[in-house]
Amino acid sequence: MRDAKYIQTGVKNMTYQKWSTKKICMVGLFMCMNIALSSFGVPVPGGHLYLCDIIIFTAALLLDPTSAMIAGGVGAFLGDLIFYPAPMFVSLFVHGFQAFVASYCSHNVLKKHPKLATFLGLVLGIVITNVGYFLGKTFVYSTFAYAIMKIPYELAQGTIGAVGAVLLVYKFGLKKIYEKTMQD
């Protein structure tokens, strides 16, 4: 029997995951932080660097893939909707997929080598973001030259996001705090 506390994971005949109040609040918190960091960029010559990738990668390292995808994709979509709506659908898919893949790799791949799995997930997340935004900017702005020009900024943004997330989660102990908070 299906309890109201459980939702289907999206794949037929799979187990149900418990979505507790704590988990829903945690996903919402990461979405809000994503929106907040989407609201401003650090000015650099030729553009801006947005710090939302730090939150997206942090969510990916702490949350399960589905929760990370919601926090990353929907948070980026809402941030763009509020502050700069042109690429909002690109952000929804790119950051959602980025968070899902990074989370999936860090939690489910190479279980005997978690550091390598985390590194792989973050690198794949950076690649997904760069390819996704390159394609998105080519079609949203209708110019290939603009998309090419933005590649270094996307690489820098992804790298800063990955390094920032690793520092927050492992160096500053956010993983221990998260695990303690999520205990029932």
Q: What is the pLDDT of residue 15?
A: 53
- Domain assignment present for residue 21? The answer is no
- Domain assignment present for residue 17? The answer is no
In angstroms, the CA 133 to CA 68 distance is 19
Q: Which domain holds residue 154?
A: 33-182
- Domain assignment present for residue 16? The answer is no
Q: What is the pLDDT of residue 141?
A: 74
- Domain assignment present for residue 22? The answer is no
- Domain assignment present for residue 85? The answer is yes
- Domain assignment present for residue 162? The answer is yes
- Domain assignment present for residue 173? The answer is yes
The total number of structural domains that make up the chain = 1
CATH number reported for the structural domain that contains residue 87 in this entry? 1.10.1760.20
Per-run averaged pLDDT (10 residues), the chain, 184 residues: 46 61 94 91 83 96 96 95 89 96 94 92 96 90 84 93 96 94 81
Question: What angle, 0 to 180 degrees and rounded to 10, lies between the N-to-C axes of helices 52-62 and 75-83?
Answer: 160
Structure tokens at 104: 């999936």
Label residues 82-91 b or e (16+ Cβ within 10 Å = b): eeeeebbebb
Whole-model pTM: value is 0.87
